Structure 1
Amino acid sequence: MEEKTLFHIIKERFPSLSPGQKKVAEFIKRHMDEGALQTAYQIGQKVGVSETTVIRLAYALGFGGFSDLQEKIRKDWLFKQQAENEGTVAGKDRDVPIFERIIDRERVLLDQLLPQLNPDDLWKAVESIIEADRVYIGSIGSTYAAGYWLYYSLRQMRKDVFLSSPNGYLPEEICELTGKSVVVVFSYPRYRREVLKLVNLAKNQHAKILAITNRQLSPAGQAADIALTTEEQTDFSHNSIASVISLLEVLIAGIQSRDEERINLRQQQLEQLYANQELFLE
């Protein structure tokens, strides 16, 4: 018997789901890439429901837990990508609208992201950030948006996280780094001189360097203690922010899984502050 797709399972059981579970199911259907990589807590935050609701959806759909549901999402997502890639006809680019070409290119980049990542390097990066006394994020110029995304996400999980400005960094920020600190730098063509200067200054302070870059042999990649790459196997001239954010999602998920107790405590404290200030509408 042919295995049912996740879309088919959701369609069959949708009427019996709670309103919150229906919101999660619709999100997963529309954003399988995020569902494949993010934690139950992160999905709940994006949808506006609790982590428990996301987990209960997995049971309601007949899975043994959220991890089983996520494995099914990944399987269906990869199958969909492979089918789309196989259906692409070489040389048809001129006949395809520009928006479709861009989306096809992003699919290729995301499809190649996971196989090129070294799990050992990912876990080293995760543990380094968890154990660091302070995390400094250097994202200058066009990489600032990705750096700010990481900064905001880490601030939900731990204290002592700092971010450069889009124009550079201050020496006063670097002088407080120690041998237990981690400096995360983003480096993509055209490579900024300031990024390499930041790396060298941080190394003089004995801080560990984690580079998020397009290639291991980029200037920052060569100088870093750990380099995580997003486009090592491609020849595209344009660098994709989607692949960078996907890599950061993987990194955040790893931190969440290894430092869950401390993160939960911090998020409870933050939620209490948010509630006291009536920060959100719901």
Structure 2
Amino acid sequence: MTQLPALSIAFMSPWTDRTGRFSPLKCAAFIGVLAPAAWIAIEAQQGWLGARPVTAAIHQSGLWAVRLLAMTLAVTPLRSALRWSKLIAVRRILGVSVLAYAGLHLLLYMLDQHFDIAHVGSEIVSRIYLVIGFLAFCALCILGATSTDGMIARLGAPRWTRLQQLVYPVAALASVHFFMQSKLDVSEPILMAGLFLLLLAYRLEQRWRGDLSPWRVAGLAALAALATAFGEALWYAVSVRAPFLLVLGANLDFSFTVRPCWFVLGAGAILLIARLLRPLMTPAGPSPRGRIGAMSAYPKTP
């Protein structure tokens, strides 16, 4: 019972740790997840969203939901690479923000449809990309509702941990939804899909082989970047009949833009640098595999 006040403070204040003390890391994360929403509001107020402001806001909120989902999934690999246990403190903030931006995305879509619930429902069931997006949102709601200390205690750590694996289907559904509504320019959907692939591959490799050496991290980064490049070329070859090899070769041409595969490679390089910096970090006890049992009681987000 003596822990309840501290937990209550931590719950009410996103910028405090579990003991109720101010956490600069959590405060920075909290400000960071609020910044995109604040910028969308400023753009709307200043008339910077163009001729169709609601449509632009719908796209921006959805884009940030996907970006924050990638950041949420990146917390555990970065924590593992650095052995920096404090990084886990921002995962709940990031995960809840994904749900918040996805909810804003849906709310703005309903606003665009003049809150005609019957029409919104008929649109969702008649358009496959909306069905996919709505399924992802429902899964996010489940993850968000079970992210509290109370729900972890009710479900039990093993069952709750299995439930949290829904985040991977959510990432897949979000990627497909993003692809299908992007029409011609799929650069950012390709980029996000490549990042999700990199992060998922890291987690799977870690589960199978334990701690990853720098060489393995570098290999995963290279493979994820290659898969992104081939995926982009295949998408354009199938969707608009563009020559596969021509699109693939465009990844080596930096005259106009940097292709998604290089950003994926850059994300992999960040993981590699984090792994190389591990000796400079304060030791955090036993290896991640040995800490799984201890971590199971700590609330985490999708």
**Smaller-chain TM-score bracket:** under 0.3
Considering Cα pairs closer than 8 Å and 6+ residues apart, tell me whether 1 or 2 has the greater RCO. 2
Q: Which has the higher helix share?
A: 2
* TM-score computed with the length of structure 1 as normaliser: 0.28
Q: TM-score, normalised by structure 2?
A: 0.26
Answer 1 or 2: which has greater strand percent. 1
